[in-house]
Every structure is written in C-alpha cells, then in structure tokens.
Amino acid sequence: MNLSTLDVAIIIIYLLAMITVGFFVKKKATTNLKSYFLGDNRLPWWLLGVSNSASMFDVSGTMWLVYMLFMYGMKGTWMEWMWPTFNQIFFMIYLSIWVRRSNVTTGAEWIETRFGHTRAGNLSRISMVIFALVSVIGFLTYGFAGIGKFAAVFLPWGWPAETYAVLFMFITALYTVLGGFYSVVLTDFIQYVVMSIISIWIGLIAMSALMTHDLAAYTPQGWSNIFFGWNLNLDWSAILPAANQRLASDGYGLFGFFFMMIVFKGILISMAGPGPNYDLQRVLSAKTPKEAGLMSGFVSIALIPRWFLVTGITVLALVFFRTDIAAMGATIDFETVLPIVINRFIPVGLLGLFLSGMLAAFMSTFSATMNAAAAYIVNDLYHGYINPKASQRQIVIFSYFASILVVLVGSFFGFFAESINSITEWITFGLWGGYTAPNILKWYWWRFNGYGYFYGMISGVLIALIIPWVAPSLSAIYSFPIILILAGAVSVIVTLKTPAEEESVLMRFYLQVRPWGAWQPIYEKCVAANPDCKRNTGFRRDMFNILIGITWQTAIKLLPIYLILIKFYAFGIALALVVITTWILKKNWYDKIEDI
C-alpha cells in the first residue's frame, strides 16, 4: 500500500524518538553491570509492571490472539493459557517474592543461591544459561515472524517480510544497546501509552459498529459462548469454509481434553517459577520482594488495552471484511487478519500513528528479550567464567557485543519460521516441557541437587530440539508430557545417585528465600542453629489466593471483551467478580506479604 507523507513522517519521528531515548540514558545505564541490566533496583513497581506488560503486548502475540478469537470465538480467550498467562498470578502470590529475596542479577546467578559454588552448582548455572539462550532465540524467531508479516502488508517498498523484520530488529537493537535496561523501561512506557490509545480507539470503533450490526449473522452458532463441552462444535462451513479447514489442522477439536492439557501444563510451568527472560528480569529489578509481587500483579491490569485491540480487530474483520477474507480461498493466512483489517480501515494520518503503535509493540518485546539474553551472556558467561576480573568498562563493551550477537542469531533463525502458531506451540509445549520438571524440584524438594538440575535441564532442551526432527507429525501439545516425564526422570535419578548439596548452602537458601514444600530436614537444622527460625506455613493460603487470583485475572480480561461485544449483562458479572476478588486479595494476600 502507499502510505501518505504524514503517515511516513509519524513513523520516522517515532523511530527517532526511541533512538534518542537510548542516547539520553546511555551515561546512567552504563555505570555498572547492575545499572545496565537491572536499573540499579531503583525503578518503581508500577513502571516495571507497565514495562512487563508492554513486552507482552507484542505484534506476533496480538496477531495470534486475533486469530484465536476470530476462529474460536469466546472459547479462544482460553487459548492464551497455553503460555500460560496465569503464571503471573503464581508469581504475584509468592514466586516473585521468593525470587527477589535472592538479590542477584540473573536467573542463572540465582541458581547458585540454591546449589552453591561447587562443580554441581556451576554446571546447573551453565544449564540455565543454555536454556535461556535457546528460549530467547525461540522468542526472537517468534517476534521476527510477526513483525515481518505485519510490515510486509503496510510498507510500500515491496520487500520480503524477512527484510522488514531484520530492519526493525536492528533499529530496536540500537537504542537497547545504548541505554540498557533504563532504555528498555522508558521506551516501553512510551510505547505502552501509544499502544493503549490506539487499542482503546479501535475497540470503541468496533463497539459502535456493533450498534448497527448483529454479530450473530457473521459467526457460527456457539461463537459467543465462553463455556464449552468435550468437543469444540464450531461449524464455519456456511460462513467461511476455509476456517473449518484451519480448525481441523489446528487439532483442537477435542476442546475439553485440550483445555485440561493446557491447565495441567500451565500449573506445572507456573510452579516452576519465572523463566530466564524479560519476566524474570523485571522481578529481579524490583526494589523489594513486596514490590516484585505487586509488579507481577499489575501486569494483568496493564494488559486491558490489549484486549480492546484484539476484540476490536476481530469484530471489524467479521463485520466488514469477512467477504474479502473468504475471497482468498483456502490459501488465506488467518494470522494476517490484523494487518488486513488495519490496512483497509484506518484513514490516512491515523494509520501512521497506528503503525507506530504496532512497531512499538514489537520493539518493546524485542528490546526486553534482547537485554535479558545479553545479561546471561555477560554476567553468567563472560564475567562469571571467562573474565571474572573484568572492569566495568570491559563489561559494558562486551554487553554491546552480546546484544548484537543475540540480534544476529535471532534474525538467522527467523528466516526458517513457518508460522506464528507453530513457534508458539513449540515454545509453550515443547521447550518449556524440558524446563518444568527440574525447576519445580529446585523450589520444593530439599534433596534435589545441582547435578540433577543440570542433567534434567540439558536432557529437556535436547529432547525438545530433537522431537520436531524425529517425530515431525507429533503435535507440540502431546510432546509436552513426554518431555516433562523424561526430563523429570533424569532429574530425580541423577539426584538420588549423587550426594546432596552442602547443608550450609541449603540452610542459607532456606533462611533467605523461605519456601514451603519438602524442606523438613533443613528446617530442623535451621531451628537447631537459630530457635527463632519460623517455618513458611503459607501453602494453603497461597493456593487459595492463586485460585482467587486466576478468577480475578480472567474477569479483568473479559471486561473489555464483553464491553465491545455489547454484552452488558456478562460485563456486569465480570465487573462484580473483579470487585469481590480484589477485596479478597487485599485482605488475604497484600496485607499478609512478609517483605523481608
């Protein structure tokens, strides 16, 4: 399409503004390692929460959510549990608080607080770095595919999607390399404001459209029903035949079984704690453990504008462009519904602002991921093993090099991405299947040691990488339990065949983090050394608060969706749930946080 001069000017001004931020905070960010990767632990929790939500408010994820809501209707709102999004509730209630008590820079460095500085501890730290880098490459590939597809629809030069993706990855890399974590958070805030304005605006336009159009005429029976049985029971044949073919290829027909799988997987992954990505980096950047929990909770609130955009784009596609989409036949890529609608709906001038917002969505995710990956390379490899006596100047210079390396590798693998959905499934089901078992055990079982962690993590990553090659027809959904069981078995067997960690390491970890779980032997030793030591008895309260928190988070998400769909009765129920659950969380969670 041909962008107007005004649209192009808005985009250029936005890109220059982001680069200017990088130069503006360069001096402050490059003071030392902690300032470059954690902002000196001086940033307020609400700003970190906005930054974290902006990083989740990405182009690829938004395109994927539009596809899910378009194809699956209200049942598609459960699809984001594939990640799972309710992990933020587990983090809010207790895991972010536990993690922040460690007072370290990266997740790999945190591993040493659990397993010590022994050979086993070093191996476990290396395995975390390996997983972090593999997962980061996966996330960058995911972002690469999304921004490429998006830009190819809008920008006028007719380049391949991959060329656009490389261009915007390197522009984002420039300001991220210069300003480190300060640059990431400040640009995230600016980008969040831009994205929120655009999102709410699109949602209100869609809402006004439904004042004169009946959505039921454009969707199959059951589309508006959030509840489901064993089977999906959505038939698009009379409206959009190509959609039925895509539903069949997705393989979610037995929706009840699929839902049980994502809940089972989601609970386990959530209990494993924050993964080694931008999410964990925000937790470690919080001022205190209590603020770390508040930050994780605020993410769910800050993501409300995203659902204005997702629902708005879906409604506009169904009402105004269903015929155009149907005309594309069986070859249509439903993941491009978002750019198709925007391309034809937003007028000149406003299109530039919207494109800036979507570029902001990509750039916030990419910059956060890149900065988190560089932290592992610099802090855990270069400074931890290669050059432990490196000066602050050498560390900062190597940080630049590490960031550029991450961009190059992410771009390379992006050229081989098939679709956003396929990458999503591999990350959420395959790769995280290998992460889950050893990282659950590290929290809740005192006997688990560094050797068990190392071999469990490495075997999990290798199995996740091998399965797509040896069994390409196996769905990523069904690969998760296979990877989970194998990696878990390796973790337990190796642990039982090797000595336990030193008591001093385990006691220090227990006293500092204060987890609940199977820690009785260590608790008894801590009491013997210090009679004032108290056990963490918050398990039942935490589990109850998680149930309330997931209800709270789900109701918050449904507010903008039901508002746009003009379902005021359902909106009222969701609002009542938000009010009630907020009151319960205030009394039973916030007021009882121990900020030690």
More confident residue, 486 or 462: 486
Query: What confidence category does residue 279 fall into, taking pLDDT thresholds of 50, 70 and 90?
Result: confident
User: DSSP secondary-structure letter at 499?
Assistant: P
Question: HSE (CB half, 13 Å, CA atoms) of 402?
Answer: 26
Query: What single string gives the DSSP state of each residue in 34-78?
Result: HHHHHGGG-S-HHHHHHHHHHHHS-HHHHHHHHHHHHHHGGGGGG
User: DSSP secondary-structure letter at 387?
Assistant: -
With a cut of 70, say whether residue 27 has pLDDT above it: no
> Mean pLDDT across the chain, nearest whole number?
82
- Tens of pLDDT along 194-241? 888 888 988 998 999 899 888 888 899 999 999 988 988 899 888 888
* Burial of 148 per CB tally in 10 Å (0-12, 13-18, 19+): buried
Query: What confidence category does residue 4 fall into, taking pLDDT thresholds of 50, 70 and 90?
Result: confident
With a cut of 60, say whether residue 349 has pLDDT above it: yes
Residue 195: the pLDDT is 82
Closest C-alpha to 143, from 61, 53, 54, 50: 61
Residue 580: the pLDDT is 98
Give the highest mean pLDDT range of 90-99, 368-377, 401-410: 90-99
Give the highest mean pLDDT range of 183-192, 414-423, 564-573: 564-573
Least confident span in 261-265, 276-280, 417-421: 417-421
Alpha-carbon distances, residue 336 vs 68, 146, 151, 206, 207 (angstroms):
12, 9, 11, 18, 22
Q: What is the pTM of this model?
A: 0.85
More confident residue, 574 or 323: 574
| Distance from C-alpha of 373 to C-alpha of 129, rounded to nearest angstrom | 9
With a cut of 60, say whether residue 418 has pLDDT above it: no
With a cut of 60, say whether residue 59 has pLDDT above it: yes
Residue 455: the pLDDT is 94
- Tens of pLDDT along 228-247? 889 888 998 888 887 888 88
- Tens of pLDDT along 78-121? 988 987 899 999 999 999 999 998 877 776 778 888 998 888 88
- Tens of pLDDT along 251-266? 888 889 889 988 988 8
Looking at the chain, the whole-number percentage of residues with pLDDT higher than 70 is: 81
- What are the tokens at 457? 């993590």
Strand partners, 518: 445
Residue 26: the pLDDT is 56
Residue 422: the pLDDT is 56
In this structure, the chain runs to a length of 596
Query: What single string gives the DSSP state of each residue in 312-373?
Result: HHHHHHHHHSHHHHHHTGGG--GGGHHHHHHHHHSPTTHHHHHHHHHHHHHHHHHHHHHHHH
Domains defined for the chain, CATH in brackets: 5-414+535-592 (1.20.1730)
Query: What confidence category does residue 413 fall into, taking pLDDT thresholds of 50, 70 and 90?
Result: low
Is 45 within 8 Å of 294 (Cβ atoms)? yes
Residue 368: the pLDDT is 66
- Tens of pLDDT along 128-164? 888 777 777 777 776 676 677 677 766 667 777 777 7
Is 550 within 8 Å of 89 (Cβ atoms)? yes
Query: What confidence category does residue 56 fall into, taking pLDDT thresholds of 50, 70 and 90?
Result: confident
